[in-house]
């Protein structure tokens, strides 16, 4: 879709739940839809050049919400606001079977794209896709539940293209604990990594798979920071100083990310943007820029990126979906971000940190 004026740099985004949205709605990634936030036509219109595609597995209690054909897939979903109500970690075979289904769907989508989509395994491939207008998919686990403690499954998933793993979603598993969904709250909500979690961090380092620290609680964050030799990355988290959700990053965490040459990706979810944690979609795009400004001031422009949470969260109505991204870019220009800074925010920082993490 042609756009007028100076073209924005292509955007690479740190988080979406698009594959689950495709399953739940039955829509195709190749057709423009009014449901969800990303499909190829809307990505092209908005200048979205690709992103992290999350494989997220519903816990068995909520599994029916991941199935197609429900009028309102999220209605009645059990939300875990308190650690004490968390279910037992899900069985490995259940998690692996769900992961194979979602990973397979992403690979099928790329396969069916006739060259319009590329699965990226290296930073050079990612840059090439962005330059050539090929939509770049990075395969990511949002929660390490499909990985066995001995590390065999990771090799299979790596061979399938997996290049990024978040140790846990907002729940607990064999490796780590996430933050519950409560507001306001510090992210310091419980115990850190288990021994299996510490071993997994070392294995991910050896394999040079990126570790994502969004959703993990604060003690887990510091445990990873003490072990890993890679830059610290939170793919979709904001500034806790501006919105005191446990999903957001404290100033100390932002400082640690800067010192490790890492990245925080701006989450567009209104509940993580607003000072009151409310879910009002009338939250202005300017509020997104407030968080970017804060994080850029605290860490430097090299450590801030985008991590939309498209297809998994409530977007500001003013932005709406991937086709609305030029409105965010304009708001950034209006606040003084331009030229090389805008390129870094849009995709340059992601390419840099992935190169340093993956080694190519
Ligand atoms: Zn998430």
Least confident of 5-14, 17-26, 196-205, 348-357: 5-14
CA angle 316, 342, 46 (to 5 degrees): 45
- Which one has a higher pLDDT value, 56 or 360? 56
Question: What is the CA(266)–ligand 1 centre distance, in A?
Answer: 12
Residues 203-259 pLDDT 10s: 999 999 999 999 999 999 999 999 999 999 999 999 999 999 999 999 999 999 999
92 is written with which tokens?
A: 């490995």
Please tell me the predicted confidence (pLDDT) of residue 6.
Answer: 55
Question: What is the CA(5)–ligand 1 centre distance, in A?
Answer: 34
Tell me: pLDDT of 4 over 50.
no
User: Does the CA dihedral 191-193-196-198 come out positive or negative?
Assistant: negative
Question: What is the CA(21)–ligand 1 centre distance, in A?
Answer: 14
Residues 309-344 pLDDT 10s: 999 999 999 999 999 999 999 999 999 999 999 999
Question: What is the CA(184)–ligand 1 centre distance, in A?
Answer: 18
Domain boundaries, the chain: 15-358
* Radius of gyration of the CA atoms of the chain, in A: 19
**Mean pLDDT, range 110-128, rounded to an integer:** 98
Question: What is the CA(193)–ligand 1 centre distance, in A?
Answer: 19
Question: What is the CA(309)–ligand 1 centre distance, in A?
Answer: 7
Residues 38-59 pLDDT 10s: 999 999 999 999 999 999 999 8
C-alpha span between 114 and 121 (Å, rounded): 19
CB distance 346 to 306 below 8 Å: yes
pTM to 2 decimals?
Answer: 0.96
Question: What is the CA(139)–ligand 1 centre distance, in A?
Answer: 14
**Mean pLDDT, range 81-97, rounded to an integer:** 89
Question: What is the CA(141)–ligand 1 centre distance, in A?
Answer: 10
> What is the CATH class of 15-358?
alpha beta
C-alpha span between 257 and 249 (Å, rounded): 10
**Mean pLDDT, range 141-148, rounded to an integer:** 98
Question: What is the CA(4)–ligand 1 centre distance, in A?
Answer: 34
Please tell me the predicted confidence (pLDDT) of residue 5.
Answer: 47
């Amino acid at each position: 879709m042609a756009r007028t004026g100076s073209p924005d740099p292509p955007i690479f985004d740190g988080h979406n739940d698009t594959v689950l949205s495709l399953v739940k709605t039955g829509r195709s990634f190749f057709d423009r839809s009014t449901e969800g936030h990303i499909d190829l036509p809307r990505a092209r219109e908005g200048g979205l050049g690709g992103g992290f595609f999350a494989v997220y597995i519903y816990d068995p209690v909520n599994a029916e919400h991941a199935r197609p054909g429900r009028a309102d897939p999220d209605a009645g979903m059990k939300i875990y606001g308190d650690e004490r109500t968390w279910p037992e970690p899900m069985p490995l075979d259940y998690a692996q079977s769900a992961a194979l289904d979602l990973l397979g769907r992403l690979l099928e989508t790329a396969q069916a794209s006739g060259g319009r989509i590329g699965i990226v395994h290296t930073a050079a491939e990612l840059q090439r896709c962005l330059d050539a207008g090929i939509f770049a998919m990075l395969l990511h686990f949002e929660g390490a539940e499909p990985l066995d403690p001995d590390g065999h499954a990771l090799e299979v998933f790596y061979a399938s293209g997996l290049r990024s793993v978040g140790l846990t979603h907002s729940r607990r598993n064999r490796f780590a604990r996430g933050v519950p969904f409560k507001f306001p709250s510090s992210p310091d909500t419980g115990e850190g990594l288990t021994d299996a979690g510490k071993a997994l961090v070392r294995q991910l380092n050896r394999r040079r798979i990126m570790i994502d620290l969004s959703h993990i609680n604060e003690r887990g964050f510091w445990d990873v920071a003490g072990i890993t030799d890679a830059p610290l990355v939170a793919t979709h988290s904001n500034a806790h100083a501006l919105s005191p959700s446990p999903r957001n990053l404290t100033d100390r965490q932002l400082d640690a990310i800067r010192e490790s040459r890492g990245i925080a990706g701006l989450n567009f979810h209104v509940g993580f943007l607003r000072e009151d944690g409310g879910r009002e979609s009338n939250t202005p795009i300017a509020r997104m820029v407030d968080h970017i400004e804060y994080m850029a001031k605290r860490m430097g422009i090299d450590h801030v990126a985008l991590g939309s949470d498209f297809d998994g969260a409530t977007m500001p109505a003013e932005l709406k979906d991937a086709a609305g991204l030029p409105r965010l870019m304009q708001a950034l220009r209006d606040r003084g971000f331009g030229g090389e800074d805008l390129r870094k925010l849009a995709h340059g920082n992601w390419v840099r940190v992935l190169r340093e993490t993956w080694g190519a």
